[in-house]
């Protein structure tokens, strides 16, 4: 005897087949309509791999992910297979996304059409976390963004202001050197990742909220570290609503997404309220002028509410800590993997310091070292912390290198691919700081992204305002690490190699912590 379920089964299957056919036809019709529209119009059709109804190319993204292939590498692969002129359009769910990996197209995005493409795509997570995008990174291209960025570039992160934190950096360098000396004396492998992150975070913390409020390794400092980490995970994680925005119309889903971000924002709120209130109370007797003091002193001039201040502070902590730390960590990795390069770097540092009679490498001396600068550039070329920059976006249709990009298509600049393009860079995969030295093939390249082949900090209106701040910390610590110590990879189970497996969340980083053995040198 057939049950009711068995009797209903053929109807259900028929319904499913009809539904899928309908969706497929709709998809094909939509594609050919947009093809026609673009062909009748002024531009060429953007190249794209064949996609599936509803999910677009989500299956490809999942396949790459299952094989452990990083997004920057999978975009390279898709561009090679389906792209043209360094462009490939993919669709994740209902969200189109254009990956750019040619110099010409990058120039079109960040120079020719920069005025149109200086927007950011909307993100529910970022909107909730950053007080309605009252920060700089996620702010839309608006008067608020212009004002806030001006405040950062003319008051907070100028070269003069960065130099005023020199004592902070030199004190933190001394603390770091003491930790390394202890490990060297005990002939122990050192958790270099923790050392470098601790240094970067402490410098940032003291510059932003001053050592009077937050002391190294106290509860407040641990809370800052935890919240930075959680924010990166939340923003850089897989947020389904970005690919299927219609999901946000489902009440339960929307509440779940917002609740997660809300909880984290409340924790930031509590912490930053304490910090700002403390600064307000002590404004008169404050000597050490940190970022909070500067923000408070310009609050009325720039029309900033307390929420603006908090959003800006979260931006600075999130954008400025992990990035600089990762450059230092990859620099140490390249140091031990390239002994030939290392001895040239040590020669430069030790020679210069002998000439100055100083016991430590000061910031002034470090900043005059040409090979050290080239070494840092080469590290940023091969290991940019933000391999796809931050997404750019236009509210209107825009022409990129003769192709029509529909309005509201997030654009990812594959800065990682551009910096490894073998048609542009000689020995692209090799670590050769010499290329950036005087007489080297890339001697004229700087951090401003003017050439559109080396873009670790982006270019154009949305370029990173933190270059001076990060480079000065990186230079002085790295110079001291190579001046006082030689570095070796510890032997673990008979092996002495470094695991280079990487992952991308908000930033590109190695999965494993870096452990190295420091050996004191008698200089």
Site residues (vs ligand HEM, CB under 6 A)? 136-137, 149, 152, 157, 315-316, 319-320, 323-324, 327, 385-386, 389-390, 456-458, 462-466, 469-470
* 93 versus 458: smaller Cβ distance to ligand HEM: 458
Measure CA 334 to chain center: 20
- Please report the sign of the dihedral spanned by the C-alpha atoms of residue 98, residue 99, residue 103, residue 106: positive
Whether 468 contacts 460, CB under 8 Å: no
Cα(350)–Cα(5) distance, integer angstroms: 82
* 221 versus 415: smaller Cβ distance to ligand HEM: 415
CA angle 230, 236, 242 (to 5 degrees): 120
The alpha helices in 444-492, defined as continuous H runs, are 467-484
Whether 290 contacts 206, CB under 8 Å: yes
φ, ψ (nearest 5 deg) of residue 444? -85, 0
* 101 versus 323: smaller Cβ distance to ligand HEM: 323
Whether 79 contacts 90, CB under 8 Å: no
Q: How far is the CB of 148 from ligand HEM (least distance, A)?
A: 8
In 3-state terms, what secondary structure has residue 401? coil
Spatial neighbors of 212 by CB under 8 A, at least 6 apart, are: 282, 288
Q: How far is the CB of 153 from ligand HEM (least distance, A)?
A: 9
Q: How far is the CB of 324 from ligand HEM (least distance, A)?
A: 5
Residue with tokens 């902590």: 317
* 48 versus 324: smaller Cβ distance to ligand HEM: 324
Tell me whether residue 464 is annotated as binding: yes
Spatial neighbors of 301 by CB under 8 A, at least 6 apart, are: none
Nearest to 164 by CA among 472, 490, 505: 472
Cα(194)–Cα(515) distance, integer angstroms: 9
Tokens of 162: 């960065």
Q: How far is the CB of 118 from ligand HEM (least distance, A)?
A: 8
* 319 versus 369: smaller Cβ distance to ligand HEM: 319
* 457 versus 483: smaller Cβ distance to ligand HEM: 457
In 3-state terms, what secondary structure has residue 271? helix
Q: Which residue is nearest to ligand HEM (CB)?
A: 466
**Kind of pairing, strands 87-92 and 95-100?**
antiparallel
Buried b (16+ CB within 10 A) or exposed e, 493-520: eeeeebeeebebebbbbbeeebbbbbee
Q: How far is the CB of 152 from ligand HEM (least distance, A)?
A: 6
Spatial neighbors of 437 by CB under 8 A, at least 6 apart, are: 370, 371, 374, 443
* 48 versus 113: smaller Cβ distance to ligand HEM: 113
* 61 versus 388: smaller Cβ distance to ligand HEM: 388
Q: How far is the CB of 386 from ligand HEM (least distance, A)?
A: 4
How many residues belong to the chain? 523
Cα(18)–Cα(362) distance, integer angstroms: 73
What is the C-alpha radius of gyration for the chain, rounded to an integer number of angstroms?
A: 25
Q: How far is the CB of 145 from ligand HEM (least distance, A)?
A: 7
Q: How far is the CB of 485 from ligand HEM (least distance, A)?
A: 23
* 58 versus 130: smaller Cβ distance to ligand HEM: 130
CA distances from 253 to 4, 95, 258 (A): 33, 18, 9
Residue with tokens 């920059």: 389
Q: How far is the CB of 454 from ligand HEM (least distance, A)?
A: 12
Q: Tell me the longest C-alpha to C-alpha distance in the chain.
A: 98
* 120 versus 265: smaller Cβ distance to ligand HEM: 120
* 58 versus 97: smaller Cβ distance to ligand HEM: 97
Give the CA count within 13 Å in the CB-facing half-sphere of 149: 18
Phi-psi region of 47 (alpha: psi -120 to 50; beta: other; left: phi over 0): beta
393: DSSP letter: B
Cα(297)–Cα(200) distance, integer angstroms: 26
Q: How far is the CB of 469 from ligand HEM (least distance, A)?
A: 4
Q: How far is the CB of 430 from ligand HEM (least distance, A)?
A: 21
* Feature table: binding site: 464
Binding site for heme: residue ranges? 464
């Amino acid at each position: 005897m057939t049950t009711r379920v068995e009797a209903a089964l053929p109807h259900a299957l028929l319904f499913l087949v009809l539904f899928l056919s309908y969706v497929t036809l709709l998809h094909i019709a939509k594609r050919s309509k947009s093809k026609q529209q673009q062909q009748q119009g002024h531009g060429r059709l953007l190249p794209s791999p064949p996609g599936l109804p509803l999910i677009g190319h989500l299956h490809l993204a999942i396949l790459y992910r299952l094989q452990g292939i990083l997004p920057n590498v999978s975009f390279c692969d898709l561009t090679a297979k389906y792209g043209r002129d360094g462009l490939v359009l993919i669709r994740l769910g209902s969200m189109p996304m254009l990956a750019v990996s040619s110099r010409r197209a990058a120039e079109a995005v960040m120079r020719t059409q920069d005025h149109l493409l200086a927007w950011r795509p909307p993100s529910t997570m970022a909107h909730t976390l950053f007080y309605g995008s009252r920060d700089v990174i996620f702010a839309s291209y608006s008067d608020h963004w212009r004002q806030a960025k001006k405040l950062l570039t003319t008051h907070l992160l100028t070269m003069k202001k960065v130099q005023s934190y020199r004592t902070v950096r030199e004190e933190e360098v001394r603390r770091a050197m003491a930790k390394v000396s202890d490990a060297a004396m005990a002939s122990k492998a050192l958790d270099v990742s923790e050392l470098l992150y601790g240094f970067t975070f402490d410098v940032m913390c003291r510059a932003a909220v001053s050592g009077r409020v937050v002391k190294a390794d106290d509860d407040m400092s641990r809370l800052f570290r935890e919240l930075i980490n959680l924010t990166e995970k939340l923003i850089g994680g897989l947020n389904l609503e970005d690919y299927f925005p219609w999901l946000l119309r489902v009440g339960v889903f929307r509440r779940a997404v917002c609740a997660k971000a809300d909880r984290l924002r409340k924790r930031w709120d509590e912490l930053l309220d304490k910090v700002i209130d403390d600064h307000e109370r002590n404004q008169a007797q404050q000597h050490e002028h940190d970022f909070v003091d500067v923000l408070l002193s310009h609050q009325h001039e720039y029309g900033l509410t307390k929420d603006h201040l908090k959003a800006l502070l979260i931006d600075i902590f999130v954008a400025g800590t992990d990035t600089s730390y990762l450059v230092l960590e990859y620099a140490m990795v390249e140091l031990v993997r390239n002994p030939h390069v290392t001895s040239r770097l040590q020669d430069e540092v030790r020679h210069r310091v002998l000439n100055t009679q100083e016991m430590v490498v000061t910031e002034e001396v470090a900043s005059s070292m040409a090979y050290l600068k080239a070494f840092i550039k080469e590290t940023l070329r091969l290991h940019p912390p933000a391999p796809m920059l931050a997404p750019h976006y236009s509210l209107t249709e825009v022409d990129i290198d003769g192709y029509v990009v529909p309005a509201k298509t997030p654009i990812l600049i594959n800065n990682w691919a551009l910096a490894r393009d073998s048609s542009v860079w000689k020995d692209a995969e090799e670590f050769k700081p010499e290329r950036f030295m005087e007489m080297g093939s890339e001697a004229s390249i700087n951090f401003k992204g003017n050439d559109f082949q080396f873009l670790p900090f982006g270019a154009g209106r949305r370029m990173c305002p933190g270059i001076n701040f990060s480079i000065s910390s990186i230079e002085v610590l790295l110079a001291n690490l190579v001046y006082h110590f030689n570095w070796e990879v510890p032997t673990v189970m008979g092996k002495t190699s470094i695991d280079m497996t990487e992952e991308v969340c908000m930033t590109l980083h190695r999965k494993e912590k870096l452990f190295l053995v420091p050996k004191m040198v008698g200089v």
